[in-house]
Structure 1
Amino acid sequence: MSTVAWPIDPAVLLPFLVAVSLIELTPGPNMGWLALVALGRGRIAGMAAVAGVTLGLAVWMVAAAIGLTTVLLTYPALYQAVRWAGVLFLLWLAWEAWTGADRIAPDAEPDRRTLAGLFLRGLTGNLLNPKAAVFYVALLPTFIRPDRASPLTQALTLGSLHLLVAVAVHSLIVLGAASAGGVVLRRMQGLSAGRVMAAGIAAVAVWMAWTTRG
């Protein structure tokens, strides 16, 4: 009787899912930015941002699986360049939200241009977050077993499972923040949604600078 061999060791599946779930549930820059987008612009805008964040994570996952991220981690100057580019990008987003505060309407349906912009911002923000590279390089080898599929196949399988967990967690954050958005903004009388977002994104930039300092 033949059986289909799993590409990964079934024994590592539960520990891996628990590990990545705990990591994703730990507050971080992605979580903060997605919550702010959903709070200020609504559920659809937040899900567009989730799609961009997920693609950014996928790029880092594939890069780690094929060994490209070792270049980033081997050269501290390159790591710092990516890190500070990410911080500056978030500060630019904060400035953009501040200067465009009057154009943000939390109750309005976002158009395609707005959704595409949020997708690209989520993607760019993740590509400029070197912590994602460190995450995959540090975590994936721990769960790879020599008696299973090739290390590349195992890394891609585990990385894909992590992406599913990340999408689930990020989507819940967006849905929760979008539901609370109207109530929160109504209580913050005299403050526009854009300026609330700007202050929050600036705080996320400082947060990212601290958590990625190495």
Structure 2
Amino acid sequence: MIPHSAWPVDPGVILPFLVAVVLIELTPGPNMGWLALVSLARGRPAGFAAVAGVTVGLAAWMLAAAFGLTQVLLIWPPLYQGIRWAGVLFLLWLAWEAWRGEGDPAAGDGAEVRTMRGLFLRGMTGNLLNPKAAVFYVALLPTFMRPDHGSPLTQALTLGGLHLVVAVAVHSIIVLGGAGASGLVLKRVQGPVLRAGMAGGIAVVALWMAWETRG
């Protein structure tokens, strides 16, 4: 049996940490709303491409927090606000793009690879411009770290990796649910109505993000 002190993190915090991050990921938020809309309008492959981008964005914030780089967001609030509003504006731009019909799933333009790459980049950019992800790592991770185990960096990377696994699992469930409903929706809603619904949904997500990251 591995000695208790040899674990990189305290084994006693793993279950409470997993419960905490599952509850956080299941709380409705910008990622959940955007992934559901993408999967509903464009199907499962598009949804998973978006999940990959979201995960890379979260991983970037996790690594930044592990190396102490995100502390500047707490020290200098204008930077936090700048990232926050850039994220909101980015989502509003995505809403405008959807309204114009770019990437319309009914268009059939054959640009599947370009569409997947675009969704990956949008998911990644949206999370890089979401300071709430940084605050999550700055505020939550230290409460589960113990001085009698691995180095702070090792503990942060271990717990952060567990969070990414949970996030991928929850986001994948959202994609599967949205894609499962997409067939019925696309049979009844097409063209301008679909674009308007997608644009309106993303705009709501943008307002949602502005509200969630206030303060």
TM range (shorter): over 0.9
User: 1:109 Cα shift?
Assistant: 7.6
Aligned to 1:24: 25
Match of 1:128 in 2: 129
1:99-114 → structure 2 map (5 Å cutoff): 99-100=100-101, 103-105=104-106, 111-114=112-115
**Could you tell me which amino acid in structure 2 is paired with residue 161 of structure 1?**
L
Number of residue pairs matched by the alignment: 214
State the distance in 2 between where 1:109 and 1:145 align.
52
Q: Distance in 1 between matches of 2:209 and 2:85?
A: 9
The residue identity in structure 1 corresponding to 2:98 is: A
Deviation at 1:3, TM superposition (A): 5.1
| C-alpha distance 16-199 of structure 1, shift in aligned 2 (>3 A) | same
The TM-score with structure 2 as length reference comes to 0.93
Q: TM-score, normalised by structure 1?
A: 0.94
Residue 168 of structure 2 aligns with an amino acid whose one-letter code is: V
- What SS class does the counterpart of residue 165 from structure 1 fall into? helix
Q: CA deviation at 1:12?
A: 0.4
Is the CA contact 1:106–1:193 (under 8 Å) kept in the aligned structure 2? no
More off after superposition, 87-96 vs 190-199:
190-199
- Aligned equivalents of 2:30, 2:11: Cα separation in 1: 32
- What residue ranges of structure 2 are gaps of 5+ in the alignment? none
Gaps of 5+ in 1: none
Residue identity (%): 73
Cα distance in 2 for residues equivalent to 1:110 and 1:36: 20
Match of 1:141 in 2: 142
Contact 1:90 1:201 in 2 (8 A): yes
> 1:182 Cα shift?
1.8
Q: 1:108 to 1:28 in 2, by over 3 A?
A: farther
Name 1:210's counterpart in structure 2. Answer: 211
Contact 2:66 2:156 (8 Å CA) reproduced = yes
Shift of 1:110: 6.3
Question: Any residues of structure 2 matched to 1:132-211 within 5 Å, and which?
Answer: 132-188=133-189, 192-211=193-212
**SS of the residue aligned with 1:45?**
helix
Please say if residues 55 and 164 of structure 2, whose CA atoms lie closer than 8 Å, have aligned partners that are also in contact. yes
Matched to 1:68, the amino acid is L
1:64-99: CA deviation from partner (whole Å, max 9, x where unpaired): 111100112211111111000000000000000100
For residue 194 of structure 1, report the CA deviation from its aligned partner: 2.4
1:175, distance to aligned residue in structure 2 (A): 0.6
Task: State the distance in 2 between where 1:142 and 1:179 align.
Answer: 38
Give the aligned residue type for 1:25: L
Spell out structure 1 runs of 4+ moving beyond 6 A: 106-110
1:4-153 superposed matches below 5 A? 5-100=6-101, 103-105=104-106, 111-153=112-154
8 Å contact from structure 1 (residues 101, 193) kept in 2: no
